[in-house]
A and B are shown apart, each in its own frame.
Chain A
């Protein structure tokens, strides 16, 4: 009987250690995934002045579009640290940039410029990286949230100081409506 109790205690202790470490690992992964988004956002902030100064001359008539990008950038750079605020301001910046790209399509001399093409590739790649970093963050954060809420891991959640991580949700309706390029030749499923 004593042996049985001892084994039971050992098993429980081992399980608590395992669950605790698992939660801590997930928490750190979530923090790290968030940092990855930050890296890409900074890169975007650094690239925008370049783009603006390059296209400014050719786009005299599109002052508002350019100004919207500049404003959105400064707002995003000043924004607080919270997930929701960052998501909102950065989402607005994505929307403004998307509009600028659409407008740029109408200027043939811009489209043919190698410099602009390189910059645009650089920026749209950064946009993609932001999207992928966000995707990774949301996946990891969801895993973390599920783990700390599920029984029996939720019993250790307090011990590991686990708190529900906020997901990066797309608030901006314009960004959500970005058209997906469908490369398959199949007729679109009518869902």
Chain B
């Protein structure tokens, strides 16, 4: 965690951590579906050790429904994000600032070796920015008017570089996917909870009540699995949000590092972050659901400013001072290596 870590080590570490989180998400989905099946399977074992519930219907149905829902919200996600922020595409830049913004985005696209993403403007005096899309070819970068007005050209370049990094590192695809997953987990856990309280209640009653005539061991296993499963069903929305935040937090450090790699100017991004932070007003046009996409938390929540365990758990972004310190460390290292460059 020291600041002397170089760019590539940081990237490698962030990539590893993110992979672990994504695996957790998939396991979570599997448990949500097939865990219920397991409870029913063990619950249906009768006195002769014969299971009556052998086909994992719940897992199959949950997987099928989840796949369709995820696909749908994945497709429409970026458009909805831009729409909900009130972002308007900058097709024909008029003012000097708008032209400069488009130029800066083009520059960063060249640096990343990617096609130029669409540029969107959000009419909001608070400086902030976010990127969204399905991949480098269809990505969009949205910037508030406040950002264009408060930052210098180099600082703007740093922020756009950060967003371009999200695009190049495929963060936008990951975040769109995670947003879709979260939405679906919320819907599914809600729907399944309702099913259990309603018509499914009889089934559960029969399952638990009829324990006497079953093999005691299997019944116990069924009960334990069922309780665990119900707990996860209730906690699922909360846990997935926490997971998404953790993914988002790791990605921020990585994007800062990649932005430094693209602009070769970590100092500019550091000073941009300081400016964004000192403009304390919350970005009113960006809603809660989009918060994890932004360069800085648009809601101005205290959790993102503090350091420590709680902030590590509940913030969508790493604490600003930590990010600034890391960037300044990179700037220092850059200056140091530039001075001691081998002259071949």
Size class of the contact patch on chain B: 20 to 34
- Chain A interface mostly helix, strand, loop or mixed? helix
A182 touches B111 (CB 8 A): no
CA distance A136 to B164 in the complex (A): 14
B113 touches A33 (CB 8 A): yes
CA distance A183 to B267 in the complex (A): 6
A129 touches B267 (CB 8 A): no
**Given A128-B107, A129-B106, also A183-B340 (CB < 8 A):** no
Give a binary string over B82-108; 1 marks a CB under 8 Å from any A CB, 0 the rest.
000000000000001001100110111
B96 touches A117 (CB 8 A): yes
9-residue interface stretch from A71-79, A118-126, A156-164: A118-126
CA distance A136 to B262 in the complex (A): 9
Q: A189 is contacted by which of B106, B111, B152, B332 (Cβ under 8 Å)?
A: B332
Q: Which residues of A contact B331 (CB under 8 A)?
A: 184
Q: Which residues of B contact A188 (CB under 8 A)?
A: 335
* Nearest residue, chain B, Cβ from A29: B113
Counting CB contacts under 8 A, is B154 at the interface?
yes
Of residues 133 through 153 on chain B, the ones whose CB sits less than 8 Å from some CB of chain A are: 152
B328 touches A184 (CB 8 A): yes
A132 touches B96 (CB 8 A): no
CA distance A1 to B140 in the complex (A): 57
* Nearest residue, chain A, Cβ from B152: A183
Counting CB contacts under 8 A, is A106 at the interface?
no
Counting CB contacts under 8 A, is A2 at the interface?
no
Q: B155 is contacted by which of A121, A129, A132, A183 (Cβ under 8 Å)?
A: A183
Q: Which residues of A contact B339 (CB under 8 A)?
A: 191
A132 touches B103 (CB 8 A): no
CA distance A64 to B100 in the complex (A): 30
B113 touches A36 (CB 8 A): yes
Q: Which residues of A contact B335 (CB under 8 A)?
A: 188-189, 191
B107 touches A184 (CB 8 A): no
Q: How far is the CB of A139 from chain B (nearest CB, A)?
A: 9
A189 touches B270 (CB 8 A): no
**Given A135-B111, A189-B335, also A121-B96 (CB < 8 A):** yes
A191 touches B111 (CB 8 A): no
B270 touches A184 (CB 8 A): yes
Counting CB contacts under 8 A, is B45 at the interface?
no
Counting CB contacts under 8 A, is B268 at the interface?
yes
Q: Which residues of A contact B99 (CB under 8 A)?
A: 118, 121-122
B104 touches A125 (CB 8 A): yes
Number of CB contacts from chain A to chain B under 8 A: 66
Q: Which residues of B contact A40 (CB under 8 A)?
A: 110
Q: Which residues of A contact B336 (CB under 8 A)?
A: 189, 191
B107 touches A125 (CB 8 A): yes
Counting CB contacts under 8 A, is A92 at the interface?
no
CA distance A186 to B332 in the complex (A): 10
CA distance A125 to B99 in the complex (A): 10
Counting CB contacts under 8 A, is A181 at the interface?
yes
Counting CB contacts under 8 A, is B271 at the interface?
yes
Q: How far is the CB of B287 from chain A (nearest CB, A)?
A: 32
Give a binary string over B244-284; 1 marks a CB under 8 Å from any A CB, 0 the rest.
00000000000000000010110110110000000000000
CA distance A191 to B103 in the complex (A): 34
Give a binary string over B324-344; 1 marks a CB under 8 Å from any A CB, 0 the rest.
000010011001101110000
Counting CB contacts under 8 A, is A114 at the interface?
yes
CA distance A122 to B339 in the complex (A): 32
* Nearest residue, chain A, Cβ from B269: A183
Looking at A40, A180, A181, A183, which has the most chain B CB atoms within 10 Å of its CB?
A183
Binding site for A on B (CB under 8 A): 96, 99-100, 103-104, 106-108, 110-113, 152, 154-155, 157, 262, 264-265, 267-268, 270-271, 328, 331-332, 335-336, 338-340
Which 4 pairs show the lowest CB-CB distances between chains A and B? Answer: A132-B111, A125-B103, A191-B339, A184-B267
Given contacts A132-B110, A183-B270, A189-B336, 9 further A-B contacts (CB under 8 A): A114-B96, A122-B103, A125-B100, A128-B107, A136-B110, A183-B152, A183-B271, A185-B271, A188-B335
Binding site for B on A (CB under 8 A): 33, 36, 40, 114, 117-118, 121-122, 125, 128-129, 132-133, 135-136, 140, 180-186, 188-189, 191
24 A-B residue pairs with Cβ-Cβ distance under 8 Å, sorted by A, are: A33-B113, A118-B96, A125-B103, A128-B103, A129-B106, A132-B107, A132-B108, A132-B262, A133-B111, A136-B112, A140-B113, A180-B265, A183-B267, A183-B268, A183-B271, A184-B267, A184-B271, A185-B271, A186-B328, A186-B332, A189-B335, A189-B336, A191-B335, A191-B340
